[in-house]
Structure 1
Amino acid sequence: TTGNISFRNETTFGGSGTVTYRWLVNNVQVATSTDLNYNFTVPTGATMPYMFTVKLEASNIVGCKTVQEKTVQFNPFPRALFNVVQARGCAPFNLQIGNQSTNADQYEWYLDGTLVSTLHSPNNIVLNDFDRTYTLRLLVKNQYGCIQDEQSVQVSTYPYLKAEFDVANDLSCNGILDVQITNRSVGATTYTWDYGDGSPVYVGNNPSHSYGRQGVFTLKLTASNGFCSDIFTKTVSVSNTPSASFTSNVRSGCNQLIVRFRNTSINATEYLWDFGDGAFSREENPEHQYAFANTAFTVKLTVVNQYGCRDEVSATNFIAVSPPPQANIEVAPARVIKVPNYSFTFKAVTTDDIILYRWDFGDGTSSDRSEVTHKYDRFGTYKVKLFITNRNNCTSVIEEEVI
């Protein structure tokens, strides 16, 4: 706000005679010397930058006068000033900074010599290391190019702290869970346990706890060293074992048998069916077609509830699939006869246990015997069909032509 400046007079006049000079600062005469050395003082409370007008008036003996005017500008010095709300904290520690610098418009923040921000009041300077002291430095400048200013403070973090624990068992399927806890925290001096089931919190190192009802519970540890705290959680589940069971609409049938299974399990939310023929399903009540015949299939159902408890049931030879019956048609005396009104004898030849026969002779007549004699009234070619059914209710159709 003050400064001594020298001005050199370079006025020239043609002719001879005496020349007189007047120096004026802000229109106030301050000297009549040829040159001027003046100590400027900015008025208290003046707005910066502050301007002084310096005039030189030169006059000769005949009254001729010349005037030259120059401007002197005093610019403000920047001043660095900031505070940290909390100088020590728990890593990762985000510094809260209040910048009270004046006459500055450029800011450079350095953390241990590394430029970390150019904002006025940064909120993203984080101390990540534990148990460490850092130097935070602010360097300020302004647009006038005046000398820069800086301020430094020490900030630090507390020693390393981490909450962690293990549980020997985190799932029970019998309605009760006794939890054994191993505390693996580092850097802590006090430990507070919240079991998540409404029971009182426990303060200590390696607790044990018994859960006596179903549910999913969050076991929480808060570890502290007197300055910082850390939280670690695990979930434990308590449930009753689900009960797997099922029925079906049929237990036996013929080739390509379609079975509709009915799930009668209790306390289950997920299902896995093994139909015994290489096929599987996750439906609750699936429908399945068995393509293989002459085979008995073992069906297994595995169920899981929402807590992860499981049960399974296996029914050995639960589904039996029979092949279709086999038979041949014997025709006597031959399949081609040239004598009219002659009788054919048709006989079903089979080793299967057939319980039902039905003949269709192709002329609108039929029979339900295993061996039958039939006379055709007209010449022609007739397609004879034999329908047979075995004790498993499986059917087949055999055809022959007679002429």
Structure 2
Amino acid sequence: MIVVYEVAVGADDIDLYIVEPEEVISDTDIPIEEEEGTNEVIRDDGDGSEEETPSNEEEEVTDSVEEDAPASEEVAEENENTDTEEEVVAEEQETDSGEGVPWNEEEIVVEEESPDSVEEEPEEVTPTTEEAEPKTEEKETNTEEETPSSDVPEDNTDTNIDPLPSSPFPINESPVAVANGSPINGEAPLKVSFNAIDSSDDKAIVSYIWDFKDGQTASTVDTEHTFVEAGNYEVTLLVKDEEGISALDVIIIKVTGPENTAPVAKASADKTSGTVPLEVAFTGSGLTDDTGVTGYSWDFKDGNGSDQSDASHTFETAGTYAVELTVTDAEGLTNTETVSITVESKNTAPVAKASADRTSGTVPLEVAFTGSGLTDDTGVTGYSWDFKDGNGFEQSDASHTFETAGIYEVELTVTDAEGLTSTETVSITVESKENTAPVAKASADKTSGTVPLEVAFTGSGLTDDSGITGYSWDFKDGNGSDQSDASHTFETAGTYAVELTVTDAEGLTNTETVSVIVEEQESSPEEDNTDTNINSAS
């Protein structure tokens, strides 16, 4: 005998669905007919009598069916393998193979009741609370719904409930978690967009939990996250449906660090030249690197060095030193920079050497001076000549003309690379030439004529070694002039020995005469025909 109960999916208490069986009158001889929706079972003995199976024998009947019916055991095993709460349809009833379940040594066939086989409509009996409680104790499986674990699902199949002959009730299936991300690899900082839109469930997913494995989480379907450090991150997505069943998916995000570049050494010094002993402060700490500088190495090229970023060193020997700084980063990449240091011996002042091709002469006196013959330990950088007549020159060799007589203490000053100077003097004596008297040159545009006679005199044509400083004309009629060139009118007839006297810068004079004959107007024939052009005896 198989007893079938219809229980709603998700019901908290199945006792409400277990009812007392009622007697069903059947026209058939052997089959036991069960009315849909009731627990009453009718058995026909073949002699026309009907026997009703009491409801209090239900546990015994069920146990008998479980022990004697192989088909029922197959159904129970199938329920355990599927881990569901639905009732299973008996396979032997679906196949209608005719194989019966032995009970009381008679072959019993359980089939779905048709409307024609029922003579009397059975009344549906609703179990009371007192009746439902003992029946619940007879069941081996607690039918209260429990939230299944996401790790090991629990078998909640009630093995005491016989399978239904109809289609199984729908069961809740685990959700499917699908984690998507883009991009899944790249250089830090890497921004990744995640989504779980491809996740699914037969009912509904109610929660999403992202774990980015860097201490950060998110709880939305779509999210964005930035990975700031290099590494492989096994990001997990945990989804749960409305009945608490969960599913997990993993997506691996590969984050790489930026490609390392070699550091750039920066070496500098507070001074790059000087005399021994020369102390120099070197600086190498001004550089930066993507992975960080881990080592500094100074090589001062005199057998000494330092492993500090900033170092101080004293050079004891003159020379030129190409000091090297080598820096190393965290990944072993190196870079070197050089700073040149020039160390010189202690400086002494230069010694000026001035000379001239002549040291005396008369004006104008041209002299060639030489000052380039000297040497210095650091080198001469400047020359300065002072000729003491208001003129000078800034070349090592110079030429100068003295225009005035006198004694000149010409100086040459030289300067070396460190500013030390030296001066030397050469004396030049310039004399005047011996003076000669000037030579007066007097002339007239006319030397004779009648009164009144105007004559233009010229005296500017002469030269003198020291220069003419004065002119003096004497026209011999009581008049004169101090101009080099003069004009005069003679009013009285006569012979005039006009004189020009010139004076030079040193007072020397010279005189020259030009004769001018002035005659009266011509007279009538009766008058004297004396030739007025004949000069009178002087």
The normalised TM-score by structure 1 is 0.37
Relative to total residues, which structure has the larger strand share, 1 or 2?
A: 1
Relative to total residues, which structure has the larger helix share, 1 or 2?
A: 2
